[in-house]
Structure 1
Amino acid sequence: MRVVLVDDEKGIVDGLQKLMGRYIPECEIAGVAYNGVEGAQLIQACKPDIVITDIRMPHADGLDMIAMLQEAGCKAKYILLSGYADFEYARKGMRLGVQYYINKPVEEEELRDCVCDAMEQIRVERGGMQQIDNLKSVLLQHTLRDLIDAGRDNPVYARELLRSAEIPMTHTSFVCALLELDSPLNPGADMGFESVFSLVERECSPFGGVYPFRYTANQAAILVTDEGSIEYGELIDALHGLKEAVWLELQLSMAAGVGTVKEQAVDIRLSFEEARDALTFKMGKGAGAVIPYSEQVRNEHHASRKKDTIAEIKAYVEEHFHEPISLADLSARFFINPYYLSQLFKQKTGETYLNYLVQIRMNKAKELLAMTDQKVYEICQAVGYSDSQYFSRLFEKLTGCKPSEYRRRSNDRMAER
């Protein structure tokens, strides 16, 4: 905890410093001042947690100083040094919300008890504020996700979402970007994304509002707002700077798709869709490209939509079957609504996506059982399962025999040849 001492008697200031160092070593003396005006300037500059101040001082007394600081928004806890004749001053201090008083001459036990009590109250308040901040962050992320998922379908709802997130709407421009890291962070690795978000806020600081949030396991969306019109070239430059910072500071490669600037809040979703479309061309532009949405991207995207998306998904699954690939993961990667993807997959293939994935994995398991000496639990992990008992039950259900029996039969057939 950082502490500032304010008293017009140098001997008292020196004595307090010695007592604090000896009995409350967890506190750091951030500065000292010898009158209220000097104290107010010092406290505003160094923003301490606790201020220990005399009441009677020249130029401005301790209570006048506290009143000035509170008006300026200072959140420090104040401890007043008072004599027995200072009752009226103490009563005025109570009206200012001061809770802590130490009588002169200062005794080390009273000082320690008072400062420790103030520190404990600060910790409790900070814990509560942290919970509130965390809750606000979660609510903001849910609000932004709702905005890009449903905002354009319901303009009134979009404005209400922005209002609830305290995002300005009048005389404001909006633009969305979608970032994709070269490898997915652990689904619970929020701290990993916090590092990315810190870099986003730093590199995009020239703009009025920057709102990043997690979109998929390895993607983050950004809503950028500013008064008047957003300079698109400056945003592209900022995202290039972000890409460099992510590589230098987090050792991650990053690509970005960037939508166009919109003047209406209801078009935020459209800007996000443009960013998503632009990002689909990262392989052609380079793994670490920053891709602005353009007429060329729009035309290429519409042309690519005509291809057999299910064929692309099947090819992806056949290559990545050993990874955890849920329908939600595929819908995010191929930018298709999960419900629509499920229906389309069944319509095109005649089977559900889950059955298709299981069949791919079991065919690979059969191959490994017949052609290698790997243990069953190793094959289980190699084809994308973590529970060997579950894998064995599923294998037996689909093939009619246990993995070990299938291997024995395969070996017998090979021997007969």
Structure 2
Amino acid sequence: MLNMLIVDDESFVIEGLKHAVDWSLYGIRIAGEANNGAEALELLDMLDKPIDIIMTDVRMPIMDGFGLIERLNERGHRCKIIVLTGHEEFDYAKKAIRYRIFEYLLKPVTLDKIEDTVSRLAAEFREENEKQRRLHDMEKKLLQSLPLLEERFYFNLLSGIYQQDMQTLLGIKLDAAAFQTIIVQIDNLKPTGSGAVHTADDERQRQLLSLTVQHMVSVSLAERLPLPFSVVAFNSTDFVLLLQHQAALPPGSEGDGLQQPFSAIQELVQRETGLTVSFAIGRAYDSLQRVAKSFHEAQEALKHKLYYGNSCIVSYSDIEVNQGHYLDSFRQAKDQLVDAIQIRDAKLSTQVLSTIQSTLEKEKKYGIPYIRTLSMELVLIASLVLHEKGDHLADICPGHPDLLGEVQQLGTVADIFDTLRETYTAIIQHYEHKGASRNRDIIHFVRTYMAEHLDQEIKLDDLAQLVYLTPNYLGYLFKESVGMGFSSYLMQLRMEHAKTLLTKPGSRIYEVAASVGYKNAHYFSKIFKEYTGVTPSEY
């Protein structure tokens, strides 16, 4: 309940105000009364509950209404003021504006005028309380989301999106002459020696081991490397180190000084956990905007673990000068296979693989070792895309638990590419099913959010941010799922809810308008008539 104090030097006025209005209907309780400003101030000091509203006369003995208001301002009181006066004087009106008085009522005031004023005042309190509640909820969610926001900042940075405002908000310090990324990959989650086996199905154990290794690497690296660095968890087996160099590095020297600490860490991890880790080193660059390039290079270096084996340390600077002809062959086709998985186009993957097969079979210049290497790389491409999405090839294609080994054993190009086509098709079908389910969940969330926030401004752009989609794509999904555009659906939702509210006894048009998100009651009436064919009052 809101607490109100009535201040007037005429007792009959106070009694009239107390009994003329059913204050409880507006959530208001008469907490006290005073005959002048001085008494009101004394009463405010005595009351154990804060006063939210003061209804005061202007001309009173000892201390008038504006004297009271001045003292309230000096004390920092934030209560709402309604001024009652029998004198329509310009100076009073100016003071009312200066002190931001809620309403200035001229006696004799009608009951309708009082009720209208109180109704608006109560509505303003409700709106302010709701704003405070939303602000508190936002602050609470922000505090809870800080780790997630920090993780997303680094993910975006690795993807080529540098958000300086987000960096400032989160207090992330990245001040260096050069930035360098290193991917640390847990080669497997099984001990390499004898003993208990940690299976891939035991996800909880996988996560625990991954966190253990990440902690060991972070602590050990901090002891061995005199550089600031950040750790970004990428998936259950990979995490990224972002090194901050205080001086620029000469080209080709990015791996210098890292081999020894990385080797020591590999020995420590294997000794303590039985696991092996590999390091893939990107080059160092002089700006945060180029961190993504360093990360891409580290990813390219990591692919060469295929040739170096587990527990390796691979630098992009080393592999760049050793790229053989076979790595450049079919480069466009390989990019198209990545695209096929990303856009879920099984026809494209089948077409690309068939084209590669046809070329290999027609042009006999490619030797068996190259074909074996190429087939392994095509498997690796699919596996890397799955890793980026947090999935594993063996889970999606259980019929091929060791696809790399399998393609090495197949005797013909046709057999190899039949297996590859089957694999890519299975992967794409998996994501088609997964994507359809996710889209349904997204649209359900959006529709629920709209229904629960009709009294607020609702924008497609804001909703798109909430579900991490572009506005255009969310709009497309929404229309495809609901059968009408976002704006049309929102208007229908508002109007149907307005129709329901208008049928309730005592409903006021401006209140209904506010409840369905229209600040301007006249504009609401116009839209309502366009929608229903009648005005709100006729309805």
For the superposition of Structure 1 and Structure 2, which TM-score range results when normalised by the shorter chain? 0.3 to 0.5
Task: Flag the structure with larger Rg.
Answer: 2
TM-score normalized by the length of structure 1:
0.39
Ranked by relative contact order (alpha carbons within 8 Å, sequence separation 6 or more), the top structure is 1
